[in-house]
Amino acid sequence: MESIVEVKRVKKLYPVRRDFFGRVKEFLKALGGVSLKVYPGETVGVIGESGCGKSTLGKVILDLERPTEGEVLFKGKSLRELTGEEYKEYRRSVQAVFQNPTNSLNPRMKVWEIVTEGLKINYRLPKGELLKRAAELLKMVNLPEGFLERYPHQLSGGQKQRVAIARAVALKPELIVADEPTSALDVSVQAQIVNLFLKLQEELSLSYLFISHSLPVVEAVSDRVVVMYRGYIVEEGTAKEVFTETAHPYTKLLISSVPGVKSSFKALEEEGEVKEGCPFYPRCPYRKKECLEFNMELLPLTETHRVACLLYL
């Protein structure tokens, strides 16, 4: 099966320090060489602590950030090689739902204008047709038609996020990058939004890249899960493999941090950073000198379960 999107050995560096003449002296490594595929109809969950590169990966897939090295492929073709029409298809086919709907919705636009903006740009539909389509989109996300003439400030956080989801599905995309879509919402609303994502996936045959630091949510919605640490994928597998047959020491630490989860795993106190080899080396109780030369290659445990750790070499 051909993937919708493929990320191949992507690195992303941000300059953080320059000298007097503006020359870059120091970089922050956001992605250290990530490879990933998303196939039709599946949900790929991405987990890891803040600063691990989850959101940067999403932005690179959305072409909001250009990779320093590597490439992103849409249906087998590099984004940089797409023609004008092909790139328009990609922009329609890959949509986003961001973390904070208050920041992602234009406060000067009415709800019907927000959810149909993509339709207006791509198909130049008349206002009457846009209003009709907007009403259909609101119904899909369980909002009443009376919300069409409202502005974002007149909506609750959960209602704003439903509007953002309606906007994302308006162009009938194949993949939605959902970057922490529930973290800015009340706990009582989070389950409703997650169920809405699942309903729309079934109705519209959507694929998701679901980025979140909420492990229970990711476990509930994902077919596959990737675990990221300091710009690298350290473990990848089905949701069951990652959460119940956990392999990488960092994944064990991450899962043990969830309240109510009993674990005997104890990470070491952090002793600084390493420039080469496994980035988890300073905290790993199983570390050895060879880890400082490890290239973070994902080693196969099963047909679907892979881990970047010398313990399994």
pLDDT per position as a tens digit, 28-85? 899 999 999 999 999 999 999 999 999 999 999 999 999 999 999 999 999 999 999 9
> Is the domain of 10 the same as that of 143?
yes
> Is the domain of 299 the same as that of 203?
no
Q: What band does 271 get if pLDDT is binned at 50, 70 and 90?
A: low
> Is the domain of 105 the same as that of 159?
yes
Residue 235, sorted as left (phi over 0), alpha (psi -120 to 50) or beta, turns out to be beta
pLDDT of residue 184: 78
pLDDT of residue 27: 87
Q: Which residue did the predictor score with more confidence, 184 or 39?
A: 39
Q: Which residue did the predictor score with more confidence, 174 or 262?
A: 174
Domain hosting residue 250, numbered range: 246-313
pLDDT of residue 248: 96
Helix %, strand %, coil % for the chain, to 5? Answer: 40, 25, 40
> Is the domain of 257 the same as that of 210?
no
Q: Per the structure, how many domains does the chain have?
A: 2
Contacts of 166 (CB under 8 A, 6+ apart): 115, 137, 138, 140, 141, 143
How many C-beta atoms lie closer than 10 Å to residue 62's C-beta? 20
pLDDT of residue 208: 98
Q: What band does 257 get if pLDDT is binned at 50, 70 and 90?
A: confident
Structure tokens at 174: 């194949």
In-domain check, residue 231: no
pLDDT of residue 273: 80
In-domain check, residue 227: no
> Is the domain of 71 the same as that of 148?
yes
How far apart, in whole angstroms, are the C-alpha atoms of residue 147 and residue 155?
A: 9
> Is the domain of 177 the same as that of 250?
no
The amino acid at 25: K
Contacts of 20 (CB under 8 A, 6+ apart): none
Average pLDDT, the chain: 93
pLDDT of residue 26: 85
In-domain check, residue 229: no
